Structure 1
Amino acid sequence: MPLTTRLATFDDIPVLQQLIALSVRGLSTDYNTPGQIESAIKYIFGIDTQLIIDGTYYVAQMDETIVGCGGWSKRNTLYGGDQHKTAEDPLLDPELDAARIRAFFVHPDWARQGIGRHIMEVCENAAQSNGFKSFQLGATLPGVPLYQAMGYQPVEHIEQLMPNGEILPIVKMYKVLQ
């Protein structure tokens, strides 16, 4: 079955929300506590609809089955879905700022088969076509190995406090195009 990638639409949101929860619950257990996982799903992970509006969020499919998602952004927000945003999200200047790599999730049944890497390449190419020369992301611990393999370097460790007191470790990572 060939892997295809297309822009996400608002009609995809219910399936993507389910995929995100499955991905986090299935792939984070070696890195996060059950409390961190459930809190992150509730308070941080989800769809940032601005990415869909901007045409920078993608779904990966095997036949008609959505097996992964991820995007890039020309806006300031580094991570989090609509429920995590509290302020306006200004546009970045590609001459000065790094594009944001955002909201990557792969269904656990399809993990470690190149889907995340494929979506990452689509995103990096699209951001580069829009004038960006560097990339920044906020990685959860399960994603760090993929991002490091793709040339991202950790620059800061963040402890994201959630409203219920749980803390989610995030690694801020950066990559400059050669």
Structure 2
Amino acid sequence: MRLANSNDIPTLQRLIALSVRGLSKGYYTDAQIESAIKYIFGVDSQLLVDGTYYLTEKDGVITGCGGWSKRNTLYGGDQHKAIEDPLLDPLKDAARIRAFFVHPDYARQGIGRQLINTCEAAAQANGFNTMELGATLPGVPLYEALGYTAVERIVAPLPDGEVLGIVRMRKVTLKLGITR
């Protein structure tokens, strides 16, 4: 695992599309998947600038990516927002767990869990004790297994008329590593 950088963007964009197409079948229609890749899913370069976006590699293949944010955006890549996000206050706001994607050939091998653990530890080191994320439907079981609970179901309208179901999830962690 290492921090992602701007040189990784083309490879990460390919990984994100591959992940969404490969792991979202059965949860979303093909039209929803393609629309989400075009309008929502992608690299959020602010995470790269902030140094909070990680990737995993195995035998020269980027197998997964994910990050955390001290900024307001809950989900979406650069194409989903127009301005820099305002900073969150760790004393009252939840850190955002963001942009998690795993290569379909490496799914269900602990990559998502490894990335989440790294992101939660980094967010805690920056003063956050609550995490929040916008989960895609295929990601919900992983996040539930890691202690996140659903707090809101979002129907995200897309510019081409498609909609995407997203679940806002939250987890409170204590500084001692205990979750509740």
Q: Specify the TM-score bucket, using the shorter chain as the normaliser.
A: over 0.9
SS state of the match for residue 87, structure 2? coil
What TM-score comes out, normalization by structure 1 length?
Answer: 0.96
- Residues in 2 aligned to 1:76 and 1:15: alpha-carbon distance in whole angstroms: 26
Give the structure 2 partner of residue 170 of structure 1: 166
Give the structure 1 partner of residue 95 of structure 2: 99
Give the structure 2 partner of residue 47 of structure 1: 43
Query: Which whole-Å deviations, capped at 9, do the CAs of 1:108-161 have from their partners, x for residues lacking one?
Result: 000000000100000000000001000000000000000000000000000000
Query: Which whole-Å deviations, capped at 9, do the CAs of 1:47-67 have from their partners, x for residues lacking one?
Result: 000000000000011132110
1:116 and 2:120 aligned: no
1:141 and 2:134 aligned: no
- Residues in 2 aligned to 1:90 and 1:63: alpha-carbon distance in whole angstroms: 37
Of 9, 16, 21, the match for 1:20: 16
Ranges in structure 2 where 5+ consecutive residues have no aligned partner: 174-178
Query: Which whole-Å deviations, capped at 9, do the CAs of 1:87-125 have from their partners, x for residues lacking one?
Result: 441000111100000000000000000000100000000
Q: Percent identity?
A: 69
What TM-score comes out, normalization by structure 2 length?
Answer: 0.95
- Residues in 1 aligned to 2:82 and 2:140: alpha-carbon distance in whole angstroms: 26
Give the structure 2 partner of residue 132 of structure 1: 128
Runs of 4 or more, structure 1, over 3 Å off, are: none
- Residues in 1 aligned to 2:59 and 2:8: alpha-carbon distance in whole angstroms: 15
Ranges in structure 1 where 5+ consecutive residues have no aligned partner: none
SS state of the match for residue 32, structure 2? helix
- Residues in 2 aligned to 1:53 and 1:19: alpha-carbon distance in whole angstroms: 20
What RMSD over aligned residues (CA atoms) do the two structures have, in Å? Answer: 0.7
Give the structure 1 partner of residue 3 of structure 2: 7
Of 132, 148, 151, the match for 1:152: 148
- Residues in 1 aligned to 2:112 and 2:79: alpha-carbon distance in whole angstroms: 24
Does the aligned pair in 1 maintain the 2:46–2:84 contact within 8 Å?
no
Aligned letter for 1:18?
A: R
- Residues in 1 aligned to 2:156 and 2:80: alpha-carbon distance in whole angstroms: 11
- Residues in 2 aligned to 1:154 and 1:124: alpha-carbon distance in whole angstroms: 18
